[in-house]
Amino acid sequence: MRLLFTLLIASLVLQSCADVSAAMFAGGDGIYDFKNEWLEPQYHVDETKIHLMDFQSDDDTVYSLYLGDIAQIGTDTIILYLHGNAKSMDQFWETAGLFANLGGSHHFGFMMYDYRGFGKSTGRSTGEESMAADYDAVVSYLQSQGLTSDRLVVVGSSLGSLAAGPAAAGGSSIPINKLVMEAPQSTANVIMQNATGLSLPASMITSYKFDIGQNMEDYTGELLWMHGTEDAVAPIETAEAAMQKHNGSYYQEAVYDGAEHGLRWDIGDEEWSKVVLDFIRH
C-alpha cells in the first residue's frame, strides 16, 4: 500500500514533465495586464515598446510578450526567457521589467511566451515535442525579423530548462551561443527518484525522457548555471552533475548558499542582474 501511494504521488509530480499543462501551477487564463503600475519604479518600461503577439504552433496558438523596438530585432541583442512553472506570463512581469532595464533602459530586446496550456496559449504541453514546437514558433519569428546567433541569449528558468536544453543541443533554428540555466531540472528519472525515494525509472509513468546533462554534453556554446544550495524543487546535486557535463566554449557557475528555488528573490535583483549582465557581456 505504501508503494502504491508513493507511486501515485510520483505520478502527480511527473505530470509536470509528461503533461506540463496538467502541472499544479499551469493552466491559468492569463490576464496579460502588462503595465508600469505593477512594477517598481526602477523597472518601468517604455509602454510603447510593449508588444503582445501570438504564433501558430502546430494546431495551437502560443501567446508571447516582446519588450523593445520590433524594427530593431535585426540589430539588437535579444534575451529569450523560458519561464518556470506558473499559471502564465503574468507571474513573470516583474522579471520582464528587470530584463528590460538590464544594462540600461531597453538596452536589450526581451521576449517570453506561454507554453501550450499556460496563460492564453491553447492546447496542452504534452512533452518534449510540443515544447520544442512552441519554442520554434517564437524563434522562427525572431529569425524572420533578422535575429542571428551572435545576438541571441536564452535563459531557461526551472521548468524552462526542459525547453532550453534540447534547443541548446542543436534544436534551435538560431543556434544558441549564450545560455543561462537558472535552477534547472536534470532528468525525469531524478524527479521520479526524488519524489519516491526509490530507484525507479521514470518510464513507469511517463514517456517524456528529458536529460539535461546529455543536452549540455551536446551544447558547444557558453553556459551560465545559477542555483541555490537549498533548492528542494530542483536539487542542486543532480543539477550540478548535469551542468558540469558541459563541454562548450565557456562555463560559469553562480551557486548561492542558503538560497532556495526562488533564487532571484533570495539573492536580490542587484546580485542576480550583475551576474547575468556580466555573462552576457563576456
User: What's the pLDDT at 194?
Assistant: 52
Q: What's phi and psi for 158, nearest 5 deg?
A: 55, -110
Q: CA angle at residue 165 from 45 to 219, to 5 degrees?
A: 110
Classify residue 262 by burial, with Cβ atoms within 10 Å: 0-12, 13-18, 19+. Answer: middle
Quote the domain boundaries for residue 135: 2-281
User: What's the pLDDT at 206?
Assistant: 53
User: What's the pLDDT at 28?
Assistant: 65
User: What's the pLDDT at 29?
Assistant: 77
Rounded CA-CA distance 220/249 in Å is 6
Q: What is the pTM of this model?
A: 0.89
Which residue shows C-alpha cell 525547453?
Answer: 163
* Domain count within the chain: 1
SS3 call for 156: strand
CATH number reported for the structural domain that contains residue 186 in this entry:
3.40.50.1820
- One digit per residue, the tens of pLDDT, for the chain of length 282 reads 443 334 444 444 444 445 665 554 566 678 999 999 999 999 999 999 999 999 999 999 999 999 999 999 999 999 999 999 899 999 999 999 999 999 999 999 999 999 999 999 999 988 889 999 999 999 999 999 999 999 999 999 999 999 999 999 999 999 999 999 999 987 655 555 554 454 545 444 455 567 899 999 999 999 999 999 999 989 999 999 999 999 999 999 999 999 999 999 999 999 999 999 999 999
Residue 55 forms beta bridges with which residues? 62
Q: Where are the beta strands (DSSP E) in the chain?
A: 50-57, 60-67, 78-82, 109-113, 152-157, 178-182, 222-228, 250-256
